[in-house]
């Protein structure tokens, strides 16, 4: 069985996406397929200034509505992305094979399938993570992040907020040393 992966009818220009818009740059490179040596796309390179702009845009987004988005809503978004990739599975396989030269069976079973699985897994993990952090809301609907900080109280000794009975000795074996 022969599977062909047609080239796009026109050269694709892969630009940077920063602050809600695609940004072209003067410097770019060709993305050449290892399958046939043909150019798949021109990739625009980001310079330091564009990277800084992207970081500032990300910080602005975090301070805005995206930062107020609940864990449940973010999980739904990740699931929707996974659903779209799954619906267009063969297109993603073709793009991965053309871009990387991977065998089709690897692109199917590893790359694209794993991308879908990872998106769903991380969406669900975000909702079910316990112990390190959890999200709650105030009575008026504001989001609160509750988290655990793990750091030693002193070096070289075992300390607990509430010490169990079997840890009443210090590391040198002196009974009740921590009580002095």
Residue 97 lies in a domain: yes
Is 175 within a domain?
no
Residue written as token pair 């607990």: 160
- Which is nearest to 83 in space by CA: 96, 71, 70, 92? 92
Nearest to 116 by CA among 94, 84, 73: 84
Query: In angstroms, rounded to a whole number, what is the distance separating the alpha carbons of residues 168 and 176?
Result: 5
Asked, for residue 164, whether it belongs to a domain, the answer is no
Cβ atoms of 20 and 48 closer than 8 Å: no
Q: Are residues 49 and 81 in the same domain?
A: no
Q: pTM for the full model?
A: 0.63
74/124 same-domain check: yes
Chain CA centroid to CA 168, Å: 43
Helix (H) or strand (E) holding 137: strand 133-137
Closest C-alpha to 37, from 96, 92, 98: 98
* Among candidate residues 15, 9, 10, the one with its CA nearest the CA of residue 28: 15
Q: Which residue has the tokens 């002196």?
A: 174
15 domain-assigned: yes
pLDDT in tens, 5-29: 555 566 688 999 999 999 999 999 9
**Residues 26, 75 within the same domain:** no
Domain boundary (92, 116, 132) is at 132
Over residues 148-152, mean pLDDT: 57
pLDDT at 64: 87
Alpha helices of 42-177 — where are they, by DSSP H?
48-63, 65-68, 71-87, 89-100, 104-106, 113-128
Taking 70 as the threshold, does the pLDDT of residue 151 lie above it? Answer: no
pLDDT, tens digit (0-9, with 9 covering 90-100), for 111-137:
899 889 989 988 888 777 655 666 766
Say if 154 falls within a structural domain. Answer: no
pLDDT in tens, 37-76: 889 899 999 999 999 999 999 999 888 888 888 889 999 9
- List Cβ neighbours of 132 (8 Å cut-off, separation of 6 or more): 147, 148
| Residue 123 domain boundaries | 70-132
Give residue 103's pLDDT.
92
**Model confidence band, residue 154 (pLDDT cutoffs 50, 70, 90):** very low
Choose among 10, 126, 132: nearest CA to 71. 126
Domain count, the chain: 2
Average pLDDT of every residue of the chain:
77
Check residue 7 and give its pLDDT: 56
DSSP of 36-51, one letter per residue? T--EEEEEEPP-HHHH
Does any domain span residue 161? no
């Amino acid at each position: 069985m022969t599977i062909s992966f047609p080239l796009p009818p026109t050269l694709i220009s892969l630009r940077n996406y920063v602050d809600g818009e695609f940004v072209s740059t003067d410097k770019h490179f060709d993305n050449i397929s290892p399958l046939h040596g043909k150019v798949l796309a021109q990739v625009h390179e980001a310079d330091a200034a564009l990277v800084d702009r992207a970081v500032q845009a990300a910080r602005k987004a975090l301070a805005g509505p995206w930062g107020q988005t609940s864990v449940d809503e973010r999980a739904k978004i990740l699931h929707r992305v996974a659903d779209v990739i799954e619906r267009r599975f063969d297109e993603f396989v073709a793009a991965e094979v053309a871009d990387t030269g991977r065998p089709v069976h690897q692109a199917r079973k590893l790359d694209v399938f794993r991308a879908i699985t990872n998106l769903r897994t991380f969406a669900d993990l975000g909702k079910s993570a316990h112990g390190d952090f959890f999200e709650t809301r105030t009575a008026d609907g504001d989001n609160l992040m509750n988290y655990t900080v793990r750091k030693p109280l002193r070096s070289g000794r075992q300390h607990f907020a509430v010490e169990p009975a079997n840890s009443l000795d210090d590391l040198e074996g002196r009974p009740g040393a921590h009580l002095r």
